[in-house]
Amino acid sequence: MTNEQIMKIFEDTAYIRTGGSEAELKCAKYLQSLCTAYDPDAALEAFEVDMADIHTATLEYNGESVPCKGYFNAGSREVEAPFYYLTNGDKLSLSYCKGKIVMFDGYLGYWRYQDLIENGAVGFISYDGNANYADCDIDQRELRSYVSKGNKIPGVNINAKSAIDMVNRGADKVKITLRQDEYKGTSHNVVMNLKGEVDETIVFTAHYDSTSLSQGAYDNMSGCIGLLGLAEYFSTHPHKYSMRFIFCGSEERGLLGAKAYTEAHEEELSKFVLNINLDMIGCIMGRFIACCTTENELVTYLNYMSFERGFQVDPYQDVYSSDSTPFADKGVPAVSFARIAPNNTATIHNRYDSMTVMKAEHMAADMDFIIAFTDRMANAVRCPVKREIPDNVKEKIDKYLARKR
Question: CA-to-CA distance for 223 and 31, rounded, in angstroms?
Answer: 12
340 vs 336: CA distance, rounded Å: 12
Domain boundaries, the chain: 3-49+186-400, 56-181
Distance between CA 274 and CA 268 in Å, rounded?
A: 13
**Partners of 278 in the β-ladder:** 337
The pLDDT of residue 179 is 98
pLDDT at 70: 98
CA 324 to chain CA centroid, Å, is 10
Beta strands 101-104 and 123-128 are: parallel
pLDDT at 10: 98
Domain boundaries 3-49+186-400, CATH class: alpha beta
Q: Do residues 211 and 205 lie in contact, with contact meaning Cβ atoms separated by under 8 Å? A: no
SS3 state of residue 43: strand
Where residue 286 falls (left for φ over 0; alpha for ψ -120 to 50; beta otherwise) is left
Q: What is the pLDDT of residue 382?
A: 96
pLDDT at site 358: 98
pLDDT for 252 = 98
Give the Cα separation of 25 and 196 in Å (integer): 29
pLDDT confidence of residue 360? 97
Q: Which fold has domain 56-181?
A: Glucose Oxidase; domain 1 (3.50.30)
Residue 359 pairs in a beta bridge with none
Task: Render pLDDT for 265-320 as a digit per residue (tens, 0 to 9).
Answer: 999 999 999 999 999 999 999 999 999 999 999 999 999 999 999 999 999 999 99
pLDDT tens, N- to C-terminus, the chain (405 residues): 999 999 999 999 999 999 999 999 999 999 999 999 999 999 999 999 999 999 999 999 988 999 999 999 999 999 999 999 999 999 999 999 999 999 999 999 999 999 999 999 999 999 999 999 999 999 999 999 999 999 999 999 999 999 999 999 999 999 999 999 999 999 999 999 999 999 999 999 999 999 999 999 999 999 999 999 999 999 999 999 999 999 999 999 999 999 999 999 999 999 999 999 999 999 999 999 999 999 999 999 999 999 999 999 999 999 999 999 999 999 999 999 999 999 999 999 999 999 999 999 999 999 999 999 999 999 999 999 999 999 999 999 999 999 999
Q: Can you give the pTM of this predicted structure?
A: 0.97
**Pairwise CA distance, residues 257 & 246, whole Å:** 9
Torsion of CA 198, 199, 204, 205, to 10 degrees: 180
Residue 223 DSSP label: H
CB 38 within 8 A of CB 235: yes
By C-alpha distance, which of 180, 252, 193, 230 is closest to 16?
252
